[in-house]
Structure 1
Amino acid sequence: MASILLAGGGTAGHVNPLLATATELRTRGHVVAAVGTAEGLEKDLVPRAGVPLHTVPKVPLPRRPSGDLLRLPRNLRAAVAAASAAMTDSGAAAVVGFGGYVSTPAYLAARRAKLPIVVHEANARPGLANRLGARMTDRVAVTFPGTPLRGATVTGLPLRREIADLATVLADAEAGPEARAAARAVAGWASDAPTLLVTGGSLGAASVNAAVVAAVPDLVARGVHVWHLTGQGKGEDALRAQAELPERVRGLYRVEEYSHDMATALAAAGAVICRAGAATVSEVTALGIPAMYVPLPHGNGEQADNARPAAGAGAATIVADQDLTADAVRDGAERMLLDSHAAEAMRAATDAIAIRDGAARVADMVEAALDQDATAGSSS
């Protein structure tokens, strides 16, 4: 067994797959530690998961001339030194990077120490740190096919334990229907209720909320049950629309600003309308749920790239943010939930492309790198 140092932070998109991989490596008897910054989500999430966290200075890579660019060499040296110290303190035999600012110094320190490097890229469009890291190793894991990193192997995303466990349950012919029925019962709905889950993430998505609110009267009139997570502080319009529904169908529209139990909401869902972050697409697909993805309209377009494999396989549709209207919501929901032929085809497509064991696949890659390094060491 070996000590593995995991690098990643800044956002949940980096931290959650890191923690999922840490859990898998621990079940195999390895010792794990992590490097992160003192500012990102990792400062809370990693210690809470029982993983020791070594902090390194945050070193953004400036994209234009600035004072930060002049200070970059000095700052990067300090971050690499901190990452090197973390490797020494943890006795690391390999480094696994998940992207974010902290991965760059970790990759550079690992190369200097001649430790095996494994890179995992969550998004279809890789970030700067992982583009650098992929040049230092032949062990590159990606979530989506077509991700432009040399020699990449598609492993899927290491899923959060509660989502991985739920995916296993829902895929079971007997346990799956029981779990869906129990989740729908939480909302007071029948076990066979055609259920649409709408979420724009914890902060919500104004355009998604507006289109769904406008479509809700038609949807509930057709018997569609809508579980709408509006985002914190963004539930007013949805609650007003709920109050204006006829009393006989008002119970078909459940409005919450935020869910502390996303596993239940996802288990209840027969279809989802949501954004297309890498984790969202991976989790929805792993759970076998047909989806309408509405990628963020700004940024570098990576969310549309994330959703494209699922859409290409027939497991989902993509609707541009500017094209998301009440009609688009209504038509998409009815196709995914009320058209039995289309719904079954989409569910079958999700099953064909779902990767539910991403953490195990990445852990396999780490162990292969360790074995290769040990073989090379014994022959030298």
Structure 2
Amino acid sequence: MRVVLAGGGTAGHIEPALALADALRQQDPAIGITCLGTERGLETRLVPARGYELALVPAVPLPRAITPQLLTVPGRLAGAINAAAGVLDRVQADVLVGFGGYVATPGYLAARRRGVPIVVHEANPRPGLANRLGARLTDHVFTGHPDTALPGAQCVGIPLRREVVMMDRFSLGDKARSYFGLESDRTTLLVFGGSQGARSVNRAALEASPILRAAGIQVLHVIGPKNTVEMEPPPGDPQYVILPYVDRMDLAYAAADLVLCRSGAMTCAELTAVGLPAAYVPLPHGNGEQRLNAQPIVQAGGGLMVDDADLSAEWIVRMLLPILQDPERVAMMSEAASRMGRKDADVILARKVLEIASR
């Protein structure tokens, strides 16, 4: 069997695709898997690193409004569709699974042209343009959120990496903190802003660092590969460890007691799967989907939510520090977050894909 996965651009599109690839290979080691991507997406690094073939097609961003750029789309899209169709032909694809993003649109249209079955997975409550199109071309639509507005969709959760969902956070805690140069017996706050970082989150955490450290809290802060800090907190105990990027997020989760982060769909899914409470700071731009991602978790008691405009060092000290100093409250929030998690979406979706392809 040969499966083509179309999900590129951001980690939110790529990671679920790779989690599905791992689950498919677990169920059928002989399966052929090819990932469609573009030259400028994170897939150029993430896909080969996970051992899967990457086939590149031209990126065709679709404008959100009527602009002169809209006139250039048909010609560029035709080229991308032809390139995607060429990949389907070359690998003799039995099914195409799309996760949204720039590469999904030509993938869906090429599969429709070639008569290849299409499977759509939408991680967000508000589907993007590519998946709204894909859902019109197939009956096989799956979502990560129960309220996603796609007709006939079945909610299965978001496929996640096995090393994350199978991790025992508590037994790994000492090893994980040691891995990052942290003390094994100190309460730890993990700060990150998604795969690219978040400047407002970075700024607030760094400004709060003197008070956090004076209270005995150590911090693991992932600032994002393109971000810098003007002045790092001085060395000393408790530690304030700053890293541009972390490949082992499973260890970062295991090291943490509480998280300060954005609320992308993947972030919310991973934190609930491992039972980590968080203070969520929804991205203030876009269509508001990040607020919708975090809302059910917050309502269940597994986290807090603060608007980006209201996030400050003072808010961190006033709202997060008392929680970090209350182990019982952290444990209660951890249990509430865990009850919201889904750990088997990769296996469920893999079985569905194999069933659809075999038919």
- Inter-CA distance 218–74: structure 2 relative to 1 (3 Å threshold): closer
Aligned counterpart, 1:165 = 163
Q: Which amino acid aligns with 2:275?
A: G
| Larger Rg computed on CA atoms | 1
CA distance in 2, matches of 1:203, 1:39: 14
Aligned counterpart, 2:53 = 52
Match of 1:205 among 190, 198, 208: 198
Partners of 2:223 and 2:245 within 8 A in 1: no
- Inter-CA distance 138–286: structure 2 relative to 1 (3 Å threshold): same
CA distance in 2, matches of 1:230, 1:87: 38
Aligned residues with identical type, % of pairs:
45
Aligned counterpart, 1:154 = 155
Aligned counterpart, 2:24 = 25
2:100 aligned counterpart, secondary structure: coil
Partners of 1:5 and 1:92 within 8 A in 2: yes
Aligned counterpart, 1:8 = 7
Q: How does 1:247-262 map to 2 (within 5 A)?
A: 250-260=236-246, 261-262=248-249
Deviates more, 1:359-368 or 1:288-297: 359-368
1:136 aligned counterpart, secondary structure: coil
Q: How big is the shift at 1:281? A: 1.7
Q: TM-score, normalised by structure 2?
A: 0.90
Partners of 1:144 and 1:309 within 8 A in 2: no
- Inter-CA distance 268–82: structure 2 relative to 1 (3 Å threshold): same
- Inter-CA distance 24–338: structure 2 relative to 1 (3 Å threshold): same
Paired positions, count: 355
Partners of 2:37 and 2:103 within 8 A in 1: yes
- Inter-CA distance 58–190: structure 2 relative to 1 (3 Å threshold): closer
Deviates more, 1:307-316 or 1:317-326: 307-316
Q: How big is the shift at 1:274? A: 0.9
Unpaired segments of 5 or more residues in structure 1? Answer: 171-175, 244-249, 375-380
Q: Which amino acid aligns with 2:231?
A: D
Q: Which amino acid aligns with 1:147?
A: T
Match of 1:317 among 304, 317, 325: 304
Partners of 2:112 and 2:137 within 8 A in 1: yes
CA distance in 1, matches of 2:206, 2:237: 15
Match of 1:343 among 316, 330, 334: 330
Determine whether 1:235 maps to 2:234. no
Q: Which amino acid aligns with 1:153?
A: Q
Partners of 1:118 and 1:365 within 8 A in 2: no
Match of 2:188 among 191, 195, 208: 195
Deviates more, 1:72-81 or 1:312-321: 72-81
Q: How big is the shift at 1:36? A: 2.1
Deviates more, 1:198-207 or 1:292-301: 198-207
Q: Which amino acid aligns with 2:139?
A: D
1:84 aligned counterpart, secondary structure: helix
Q: How does 1:220-299 map to 2 (within 5 A)?
A: 220-232=213-225, 233-239=227-233, 242=234, 250-260=236-246, 261-299=248-286
CA distance in 1, matches of 2:149, 2:322: 33
Q: How big is the shift at 1:183? A: 1.6
CA distance in 2, matches of 1:299, 1:101: 16
2:120 aligned counterpart, secondary structure: strand
Q: Which amino acid aligns with 1:235?
A: V
Aligned counterpart, 1:62 = 63
Q: How does 1:34-53 map to 2 (within 5 A)?
A: 34-53=35-54
Deviates more, 1:362-371 or 1:38-47: 38-47
Unpaired segments of 5 or more residues in structure 2? Answer: none
Q: Which amino acid aligns with 2:24?
A: L
Aligned counterpart, 2:208 = 215
Q: How big is the shift at 1:101? A: 1.6
Q: Could you say what the CA RMSD is over the residues aligned between the two structures, in angstroms? A: 2.3
CA distance in 2, matches of 1:359, 1:215: 38
Partners of 2:186 and 2:218 within 8 A in 1: yes
Instruction: Give deviations 1:227-270, integer Å, cap 9, x for gaps.
Output: 2233455233342xx36xxxxxx311323132444332221100
Determine whether 1:359 maps to 2:346. yes
Match of 1:184 among 177, 185, 191: 177
CA distance in 1, matches of 2:345, 2:322: 30
Instruction: Give deviations 1:98-125, integer Å, cap 9, x for gaps.
Output: 1112211221222233322111112222
Aligned counterpart, 1:115 = 116
